[in-house]
Structure 1
Amino acid sequence: MATLLLGRFALNRAVNLGLTRMIGNSLNRRTMHLHQNHAFINGKWVGARSGLTFDVTNPANEQVLGTVPDMDINDVNDAIDAAHNAFYDKKWHNSTAKDRAALLKKWFQLLEKNRKEIALIMTAESGKPIAESEGEITYGNSFVEWFAEEARRVYGEIVPTPQSNRQMMLVKQPIGVAGLITPWNFPHAMITRKASAAIAAGCTVVIKPAEDTPLTALALTKLAEEAGFPKGVLNVVTSSRKNAASVGKLLCQSEKVAAISFTGSTEVGKLLYKQCANGIKRIGLELGGNAPFIVFKSADLDKAVIGAMNSKFRNCGQTCISANRFLIQDEVHDEFISRLTEKIKALKIGDGSHDGVQIGPLINHAQINKVTQFVEDAKQKGANVVLGGRQLSEHGALYFEPTIVSHLRDDMKLYREEIFGPVVSIIRFKTEEEALQIANATQRGLAGYFYSNDLNQVFRISKLLETGMIGVNEGLISAAEAAFGGIKESGIGREGSKYGIDEYVYIKYLCYGGLE
């Protein structure tokens, strides 16, 4: 394969060969055009002003996949200025919904056409199995298609007036520049879910992807460029962990940024919320979860086990809506564990680029250290490790064995905190009231799941479970049509659905007086 020359940030031959080994022979001259190592500001592919870069590595084997610019606040100011200029001076805010819809449809078509290459890039930098990457692309692309359609449905209202000589109207207008800060666990879908809604509304965007997974973001951006996005409408800045905090603070505090949308940890979300306060900036937060997964005695156990597998082990347990606490009623406790154990034993572990792999590595060393510490904490405090419980160094430094831990107590980290890993934490309960008390005894309220064939119980639990989303006899609940978001400390606002576009518009009240 020919050596890639990508400006002054050229990948050397060793890196190219490492990337090729990682994702096979699919990287040829036709498909390599999506592999970018520059950021994208004002319609141009650029490096950091400082000339600094940082490495992007493959968590499956820790090989370097490439380098991207390590941008600081000076570079991000350029991106903000570009987005602000595109919105006001180039009058993107005055573009028609029909034109924005057509542009998003073109982007969607290109995303669909290039889905295989995007999946390879995503698996290489995130570690998730290729089948899951392909699934995420279907999910992520659906938001572009959805908001292309919703762009033409941002309706206002005519309000009946109390005076006969007046006419009252409510219209919706785009709020301006939106700063989008996205996580590593869904490097495709979290960008499309936010950016397509903002652009459909008539906003411009500055996207800061996670430092672990910028290559997917840049691939999506290349296709946006090919779709014909005007200069400054979509900008992407990349930065290492060293600069992440200052970049986030600038996006929150810049007077030229009208809104922030962030998906990530509750701790970082709280900090961004504070930083937005001075400007009373519009903010959307999708934060950490601590999802209960309740199995009542009336449940269909076969369906409950399938739901548990789908909810817990997608992306190696590294999703914000993964089941975190498994509450199993006395009467079915042992049988559920037995059936679940057999399913988990059958999981294929390894490099996500290999056929049939279902469990890949965790994203980085901080994450595997956290998972290991949580399991060790439970063991030291008397929990029972039914299955797994160890790092799998024979596969690589970032692999952790799918695990079941039972006999949990409320002084254990597994009981109280989100683990973000392939660990099933079992809590036994006797009554419905006890299950609800345990499930709701947290300040997190993103998603929850329960299994029951008792119709009265289904309606009771659906009402009383304190989460923003609930899977009833279902472990996979995400869809573009659904309103995604949490309550309590799990976030503000909703993404997807007809409500997702509301995060990027404001309502203007018009009162026409003196009419005859």
Structure 2
Amino acid sequence: MESCNYSKYDFLAKLGIEETSLGCYTNGEWAAGETEVTSINPHDNSVTSRVRLATAEQYELCITSMEAEKERWMLTPAPARGEIVRQIGEKFREYKDALGSLISLEMGKIKAEGDGEVQEVIDICDFACGLSRSLEGKILPSERPGHFMLENWNPLGIVGVISAFNFPCAVLGWNAIIGFVCGDLILWKGAPSTPLVSIATTKIIADVLKANGFNSVFSLCQGDGVEIGQLMTNDKRIPLISFTGSTHVGRIVSQVVAKRFGKCILELGGNNAVIVLDDANVDMALKACAFSAVGTAGQRCTTLRRIFLHESIYDGFVEKLVNAYKTVKIGDPLDSKTLMGPLHSKLSVELYQKALETIEAQGGKILSGG
């Protein structure tokens, strides 16, 4: 068995991560099958620790446990759910440094971005806590004398969240926290390559819910990506699937869920451009373009991929951008001096190298790096 660097990182134990962690949480308990995967540090390709994956049988246990707790959670007053969300936010504040470090270690984004991702969850908790007291419906007039119509929004039930590697904590937060105050339950399948973040995030949320008497409002099913994903998208007991990932897979998810008349939230890939005209604040545009392209090593749906420059500023802008790239230190994402961490996986590196080859084959010129 390949050795791991678990003992090298003190924050793992603080987050409840073990040398071998279990990938399924529901009904207040952790479980897993026998299949084991490793968590890889993309900076040096070393093994951080191991995770035993959830099985199809444990997926079914997640659903039945959540169904059993669904009505009680739905009938809990929205402000009371908001108070629980406030407590979740406080718990994320407590573990912000440790969880931000884990995100940096396992995903590869720099520590400042890892901390920022946790802060996004904290912010959405603050927002949702207030939202829980302002979920309103319209009062409409009726043609019947002495009557009126009252609009009342009801929870959907179990919401399935399938998230991606690039924001392994924040995407879950955006979906789950809003779902909680609306009275929904959340079943999460995290990205296959960031299982430790999924487990640590689940422990933070689940501990708060458990302390408030709820064991299955939030469940994690960190199993085989294809198997668990297919179970979720085909399951009529999950009326809404929120998927974050590639456009190709998102199209498949949308079609499968639509066949059973389910609903989808899709956050897919981007092909983003910036247009800089001759009257623009060039210095501001330069900084924005550099950050948008370099942040998270270009692995965001909002990453800048193309720049359209007015001909009068083209030469000067390109020169400044190339000089800016020369100042970007690439390295260990946990090193405070690093401005850009590694690409997340070997596949990402291969795709990057093929893109460079395509650029040159099409007559393009590589101005920096490569």
Measured against the shorter chain, the TM-score band is: over 0.9
* From 215, 224, 241, the counterpart of 1:231: 215
User: Following the alignment from structure 2 to structure 1, what is the Cα–Cα distance between the partners of residues 168 and 157?
Assistant: 24
Change (3 A) 1:350 1:28: closer
User: Following the alignment from structure 1 to structure 2, what is the Cα–Cα distance between the partners of residues 322 and 81?
Assistant: 39
Structure-to-structure mapping, 1:38-187, within 5 angstroms = 38=22, 39-48=24-33, 51-88=34-71, 91-187=72-168
Structure-to-structure mapping, 1:7-406, within 5 angstroms = 14-15=3-4, 18-21=5-8, 23=9, 26-27=10-11, 31-34=14-17, 37-38=21-22, 39-48=24-33, 51-88=34-71, 91-229=72-210, 230-239=214-223, 243-389=224-370
Deviating above 4 A after TM superposition, structure 1's stretches of 4 or more consecutive aligned residues are none
CA contact (8 A) 1:177 1:203 kept: yes
Q: Secondary structure at the match of 2:332?
A: coil
Quick one: which amino acid aligns to residue 360 of structure 1? G
- Calculate the TM-score normalised by the size of structure 2: 0.94
Q: Secondary structure at the match of 1:210?
A: coil
CA contact (8 A) 1:70 1:238 kept: yes
User: Following the alignment from structure 1 to structure 2, what is the Cα–Cα distance between the partners of residues 196 and 224?
Assistant: 10
User: Following the alignment from structure 2 to structure 1, what is the Cα–Cα distance between the partners of residues 336 and 316?
Assistant: 31
Quick one: which amino acid aligns to residue 58 of structure 2? D
User: Following the alignment from structure 1 to structure 2, what is the Cα–Cα distance between the partners of residues 33 and 273?
Assistant: 35
CA contact (8 A) 1:34 1:222 kept: no
Deviation at 1:166, TM superposition (A): 3.2
Deviation at 1:28, TM superposition (A): 7.9
Quick one: which amino acid aligns to residue 129 of structure 1? I
Instruction: Give structure 2 stretches of 5+ with no counterpart.
Output: none
1:299-323 Cα offsets, whole Å, 9 max, x none, are 1110001101221111101000111
CA contact (8 A) 2:110 2:334 kept: yes
Q: Secondary structure at the match of 2:193?
A: coil
Q: Which of 1 and 2 has greater Rg?
A: 1
Instruction: Give structure 1 stretches of 5+ with no counterpart.
Output: 1-11, 390-516
Change (3 A) 1:374 1:96: same
User: Following the alignment from structure 2 to structure 1, what is the Cα–Cα distance between the partners of residues 118 and 245?
Assistant: 20
Q: Secondary structure at the match of 1:261?
A: strand
Quick one: which amino acid aligns to residue 61 of structure 1? D
Q: Secondary structure at the match of 2:57?
A: helix
- Calculate the TM-score normalised by the size of structure 1: 0.68
CA contact (8 A) 2:12 2:98 kept: no
Deviation at 1:154, TM superposition (A): 1.2
Q: Give the total of aligned pairs.
A: 365
User: Following the alignment from structure 2 to structure 1, what is the Cα–Cα distance between the partners of residues 2 and 85?
Assistant: 36
Structure-to-structure mapping, 1:409-428, within 5 angstroms = none
Deviation at 1:34, TM superposition (A): 4.8
Q: Secondary structure at the match of 2:270?
A: coil
More helix by share: 2
